[in-house]
C-alpha cells in the first residue's frame, strides 16, 4: 500500500519558520535575528518580543542588513535575516556573494513570499529566479521545504548546519501533510514520499503537494509514479537523483520558479552527466507573474496537479 | 611608540607598496600610499590587538576592517611588518596560489583579514555587525572601519550610517580616507559628497576632523579623542584629509594612480624617493 498524505490543515510555511526561530532562540543564545521592516510578514515578531536584545530591526535597508549579519556571524552568532525572497536575493546578491559566501560567514537567509503564490502583490514581489541566483554561489546551501512542519524542521536544521543557508518558503496557507517530527527529513538527502515503478516527479516547495495529487490521480489510471521531495537543492543528493533517473521510465520536475536555473536544471545537470534522459519540466516559462489569487496564478502559469499530470503524459508519449 | 619610529615604519611600508605593485605589475598604489600613515598609527600605536595569535572572531581585541579593500597593498605591508604573517609573503601579492589576494579575502586564511572586501560599500555594515556582536558579548574592545571617499557613493554606506546611529553603535570608529579622488577623477566632479562632515553629523554621528592626516601626532591625538567618545551613545567617524599617492611626488593628488602599476622608469623614480628604513621583504 502506498502511503496516503492528507491535509492536516492549511498553514503558511512562513509560520513554520517563525515557530522554529522562537524555539531556536530559547535553546541557543547564539541565535540572533534581523528584519528589514517585514518582521510580522516573515513571522519574526514572537522572537523579537521574546529576545529584544538579539533582534535587530534594520528598516528597509537590506544591503546593510546582510552586512550586519555577516559581522554578527564573525563574532560567533548565528544570524537569521528575514525578508521577502526578492529582497533577500536579487536586491542583495553582491552582499551575499562577498560578505557572506566568499567570506565564509555562517548566516541563514530566510526568504518568505517566494514564488507566484504570494498573490495579489504581483510580479514585482513574485520572486521566481532566487534558486538560480543562490545556486551559483559557492558554499551556499539551499533549502526549499514543502509545508509548515517541514519549514520548521528545515529552520532548526539550518541553525545546526555550518555555513550559509538560503531557506525558501512562502506566504499563503498550504496543506500540511508531513509529520511534525520527521527523521526522513535530512539536509542533503532526497525525501521519497511515494514510491513508483512507472516514473518519478521531482518536486520542491509548494509544488510537492500538487505532485502528490498528480501521482494519486495517475494511480487511478493505472500508473505508479513516485514523488520525490527535493527540499535540499544544494548540495543536491546526486547519488539519490541518479538512482531515480536510472530506474524511472518517465521523469518530471515541478517547481514554483522559473524554468531556468531551478530544480529542472539541477536534475538535468545530473542527468547529462550520469544518465542522459528526457525530462519534462513544470515551472514558470520565462515570464513574469501578475496579481491574482494563489490558486488562480498556479492555474494560469501552469503549476497545478493537472499540469503535472500533463507533463507526465507528455513524458510518456516521448518515451513511446 | 616614538614618532620617529612610526615614521620609519611608514616610510618602509610605502616602499613595500611600490615594490609589491611594481613586482605584481598590478594593484592600487595611490590610495595605499595615502592611507599608510593612518594604518601604521592604528596597528603600531593605537589599537589593542594580538598579532601573534590572530583570532578570526576578533573577540577580546580591537578589530580593523578595510572596507576600501583595493588599497590592501598598504594593509598587507602593515600586517606583515606588525607580525601577522611572514614578511617574505609580501612578494606573493596578487600572484597565483597566494594568500595576498588582489582584494582582501578570508578564504586563504590570511591572518588579519576577517571579511572579504573589494566590492565597495560593504565593510562598514560588517563592522557594525561585529560591534553589535561585541556589545552582546560584553567585549569592551572597539571596531575600526576604514572607508574610501569614492566608496561614499554607495547607497549601502548611508543605510549603514542610519542603522549605526539608530542602534547607538558607539563602539565603532569609522575613518574616511578623504583624498577627494576616485577612479574617474575628483570626487567633486564625479559625484560630489560635500559637505561631508555635515552629512555625517546630520545622520547622528560624532564627527572628528583630521586635517593633518600624515602627521603622527595629529593622527594619534584624533584617534585618541575619538576613542574617548566611545560608549556615549553615538557612532564615531574621523574624516581624514589624506593625500592620494603621498610620498611619491608624481603620484600625489593624481587620480590616475588609483589602479595602475608604475613602469620601469616610474618605479626607479618612485623608489628613489623611498629609501629603505627597515629591511626590504
Residue of B108, B109, B122 for testing the chain A interface, max A β-carbons within 10 Å: B122
For chain A positions 8-67, those within 8 Å of chain B (CB to CB) are 32, 53-54, 56, 58-59, 61, 63-67
**Catalytic site positions of A:** 62
Cα dihedral sign for A202, A203, A204, A208?
A: negative
Over 80: is that where the pLDDT of B247 sits? yes
Angstroms from B170 CA to nearest CA on chain A: 15
Nearest residue on chain B to A72, alpha-carbon basis: B129
Residue of A30, A95, A98 for testing the chain B interface, max B β-carbons within 10 Å: A98
Give the Cα separation of B184 and B72 in Å (integer).
Answer: 20
Give the Cα separation of A62 and A87 in Å (integer).
Answer: 7
Residue of B115, B121, B134 lying closest to A70 (CB–CB): B115
The pLDDT of residue B1 is 75
Q: Which residues in chain A have Cβ-Cβ distances shorter than 8 Å to B132?
A: 56, 68, 71-72
Nearest residue on chain A to B119, alpha-carbon basis: A98
Angstroms from B178 CA to nearest CA on chain A: 22
CATH code: domain B3-272 is 3.40.50.970
Nearest residue on chain A to B166, alpha-carbon basis: A58
**Are A63 and B137 within 8 A, CB to CB?**
no
- A4 by Cβ neighbours in 10 Å (0-12 / 13-18 / 19+) ranks as exposed
Q: Are B274 and B11 in contact (CB under 8 A)?
A: yes
Q: What is the pLDDT of residues A256-282, one digit of tens each?
A: 999 999 999 999 999 999 999 999 999
Phi, psi of A143 (to 5 degrees): -115, 135
Q: Are A231 and A201 in contact (CB under 8 A)?
A: no
**Are A56 and B167 within 8 A, CB to CB?**
yes
Give the Cα separation of B7 and A168 in Å (integer).
Answer: 54
Q: What is the pLDDT of residues B85-104, one digit of tens each?
A: 999 999 999 999 999 999 99
The pLDDT of residue A2 is 85
Q: State the architecture of A11-174 in CATH terms.
A: 3-Layer(aba) Sandwich (3.40)
What average pLDDT does the segment B165-192 reach?
A: 97
Residue of A56, A71, A76 lying closest to B126 (CB–CB): A71
* Domain ranges within chain A, ordered by starting residue: 11-174, 191-319
ipTM score of the complex?
0.98
CA A303 to chain centre: 15
**Are B122 and A99 within 8 A, CB to CB?**
yes
Residue of B56, B119, B167 lying closest to A98 (CB–CB): B119
Residue of B119, B124, B133 lying closest to A74 (CB–CB): B133
Q: Are B157 and B124 in contact (CB under 8 A)?
A: yes
Give the Cα separation of B59 and B171 in Å (integer).
Answer: 13
- B191 by Cβ neighbours in 10 Å (0-12 / 13-18 / 19+) ranks as exposed
Low pLDDT (below 50) residues in chain A: none
Q: What is the residue whose three cell numbers read 511534525?
A: A180
* Domain ranges within chain B, ordered by starting residue: 3-272
Q: Which residues in chain A have Cβ-Cβ distances shorter than 8 Å to B156?
A: 63-64, 67, 95
* Class of domain A191-319 as given by CATH: alpha beta
- Strands A250-258 and A280-284, by their bridges, are parallel
CA B60 to chain centre: 21
Residue of B118, B130, B159 lying closest to A71 (CB–CB): B130
Q: Closest Cα to residue A200, out of A83, A279, A288?
A: A279
Q: Are A97 and B124 in contact (CB under 8 A)?
A: no
Give the Cα separation of A55 and A79 in Å (integer).
Answer: 9
**Are A56 and B119 within 8 A, CB to CB?**
no
Q: Closest Cα to residue B204, out of B163, B151, B148?
A: B163
Q: What is the pLDDT of residues B16-72, one digit of tens each?
A: 999 999 999 999 999 999 999 999 999 999 999 999 999 999 999 999 999 999 999
**Are B133 and A76 within 8 A, CB to CB?**
yes
Residue of A54, A64, A102 lying closest to B125 (CB–CB): A64
Nearest residue on chain B to A77, alpha-carbon basis: B133
DSSP track, A241-290: HHHHHHH-SEEEEEEEEESSSSHHHHHHHHHHHH-----EEEEE-S----
Give the Cα separation of B128 and B173 in Å (integer).
Answer: 10
Side-chain half-sphere exposure of A298, counting CA atoms within 13 A: 21
Average predicted confidence (pLDDT) for chain A: 97
Q: Are A268 and A280 in contact (CB under 8 A)?
A: no
A76 and chain B: CB distance < 8 Å anywhere? Answer: yes
The pLDDT of residue A320 is 67
Nearest residue on chain A to B106, alpha-carbon basis: A103
The pLDDT of residue B258 is 96
Q: Which residues in chain A have Cβ-Cβ distances shorter than 8 Å to B131?
A: 71
The answer to whether A11-174 and A191-319 have equal CATH topology is yes
Angstroms from A264 CA to nearest CA on chain B: 31
Q: Which residues in chain B have Cβ-Cβ distances shorter than 8 Å to A58?
A: 163
Give the Cα separation of B119 and B125 in Å (integer).
Answer: 13
**Are B57 and A102 within 8 A, CB to CB?**
no
The pLDDT of residue A166 is 98
Q: Please state, in angstroms and as integers, the Cα–Cα distance from residue A59 to each residue in A107, A114, B37, following that order.
A: 19, 20, 37
Q: At what angle do helices A62-74 and B123-136 cross, to 10 degrees?
A: 50
Q: Closest Cα to residue A78, out of A24, A3, A10?
A: A24
Give the Cα separation of B79 and B90 in Å (integer).
Answer: 10
Q: Which residues in chain B have Cβ-Cβ distances shorter than 8 Å to A56?
A: 132, 167
Q: Are B105 and B66 in contact (CB under 8 A)?
A: no
Give the Cα separation of B33 and B244 in Å (integer).
Answer: 7
Amino acid at each position: 500500500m502506498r502511503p496516503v498524505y492528507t491535509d492536516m490543515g492549511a498553514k503558511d510555511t512562513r509560520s513554520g519558520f517563525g515557530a522554529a526561530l522562537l524555539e531556536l532562540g530559547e535553546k541557543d543564545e547564539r541565535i540572533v535575528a534581523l528584519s528589514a521592516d517585514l518582521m510580522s510578514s516573515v513571522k519574526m515578531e514572537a522572537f523579537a518580543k521574546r529576545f529584544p536584545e538579539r533582534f535587530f530591526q534594520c528598516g528597509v535597508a537590506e544591503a546593510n542588513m546582510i552586512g550586519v549579519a555577516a559581522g554578527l556571524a564573525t563574532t560567533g552568532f548565528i544570524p537569521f535575516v528575514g525578508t521577502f525572497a526578492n529582497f533577500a536575493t536579487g536586491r542583495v546578491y553582491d552582499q551575499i556573494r562577498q560578505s557572506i559566501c566568499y567570506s565564509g560567514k555562517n548566516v541563514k537567509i530566510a526568504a518568505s513570499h517566494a514564488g507566484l503564490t504570494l498573490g495579489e502583490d504581483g510580479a514585482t514581489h513574485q520572486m521566481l529566479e532566487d534558486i538560480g541566483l543562490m545556486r551559483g554561489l559557492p558554499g551556499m546551501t539551499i533549502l526549499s521545504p514543502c509545508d509548515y512542519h517541514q519549514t520548521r524542521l528545515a529552520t532548526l536544521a539550518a541553525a545546526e548546519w555550518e555555513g550559509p543557508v538560503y531557506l525558501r518558503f512562502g506566504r499563503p496557507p498550504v496543506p500540511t501533510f508531513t509529520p511534525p517530527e520527521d527523521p526522513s527529513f535530512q539536509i542533503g538527502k532526497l525525501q521519497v514520499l511515494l514510491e513508483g515503478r512507472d516514473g518519478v516527479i521531482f518536486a520542491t516547495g509548494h509544488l510537492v503537494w500538487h505532485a502528490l495529487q498528480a501521482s494519486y490521480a495517475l494511480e487511478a489510471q493505472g500508473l505508479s509514479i513516485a514523488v520525490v521531495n527535493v527540499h535540499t537543492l544544494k548540495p543536491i543528493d546526486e547519488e539519490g537523483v541518479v538512482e531515480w533517473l536510472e530506474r524511472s521510465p518517465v521523469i518530471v520536475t515541478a517547481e514554483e520558479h522559473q524554468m531556468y536555473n531551478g530544480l529542472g536544471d539541477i536534475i538535468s545537470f545530473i542527468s547529462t552527466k550520469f544518465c542522459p534522459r528526457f525530462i519534462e519540466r513544470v515551472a514558470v516559462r520565462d515570464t513574469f507573474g501578475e496579481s491574482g489569487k494563489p490558486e488562480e496564478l498556479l492555474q494560469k502559469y501552469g503549476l497545478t496537479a493537472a499540469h503535472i499530470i500533463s507533463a507526465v503524459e507528455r513524458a510518456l508519449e516521448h518515451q513511446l | 611608540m616614538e614618532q620617529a619610529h612610526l615614521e620609519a615604519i611608514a616610510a618602509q611600508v610605502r616602499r613595500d607598496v611600490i615594490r609589491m605593485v611594481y613586482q605584481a605589475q598590478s594593484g592600487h598604489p595611490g590610495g595605499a600610499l595615502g592611507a599608510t600613515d593612518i594604518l601604521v598609527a592604528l596597528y603600531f600605536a593605537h589599537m589593542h590587538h594580538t598579532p601573534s595569535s590572530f583570532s578570526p572572531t576578533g573577540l577580546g581585541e580591537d578589530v580593523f576592517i578595510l572596507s576600501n579593500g583595493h588599497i590592501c597593498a598598504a594593509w598587507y605591508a602593515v600586517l606583515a611588518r606588525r607580525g601577522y604573517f611572514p614578511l617574505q609573503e609580501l612578494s606573493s601579492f596578487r600572484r597565483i596560489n597566494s594568500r595576498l589576494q588582489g582584494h582582501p579575502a578570508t578564504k586563504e586564511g590570511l591572518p588579519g583579514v576577517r571579511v572579504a572586501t573589494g566590492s565597495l560599500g560593504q565593510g562598514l555594515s560588517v563592522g557594525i555587525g561585529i560591534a553589535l556582536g561585541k556589545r552582546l558579548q560584553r567585549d569592551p574592545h572597539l571596531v575600526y572601519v576604514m572607508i574610501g571617499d569614492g566608496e561614499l557613493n554607495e547607497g549601502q554606506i548611508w543605510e549603514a550610517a542610519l542603522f549605526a546611529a539608530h542602534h547607538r553603535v558607539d563602539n565603532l570608529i569609522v575613518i574616511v580616507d578623504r583624498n577627494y579622488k576616485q577612479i574617474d577623477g575628483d570626487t567633486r566632479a564625479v559625484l560630489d559628497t560635500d559637505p561631508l562632515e555635515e552629512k555625517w553629523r546630520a545622520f547622528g554621528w560624532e564627527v572628528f576632523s583630521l586635517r593633518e592626516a600624515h602627521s603622527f601626532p595629529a593622527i594619534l591625538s584624533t584617534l585618541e579623542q575619538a576613542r574617548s567618545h566611545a560608549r556615549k551613545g553615538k557612532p564615531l567617524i574621523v574624516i581624514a584629509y589624506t593625500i592620494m599617492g603621498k610620498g611619491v611626488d608624481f603620484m600625489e593628488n593624481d587620480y590616475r594612480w588609483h589602479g595602475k602599476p608604475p613602469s620601469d622608469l616610474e618605479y626607479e623614480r618612485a623608489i628613489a624617493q623611498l629609501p629603505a628604513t627597515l629591511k626590504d621583504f
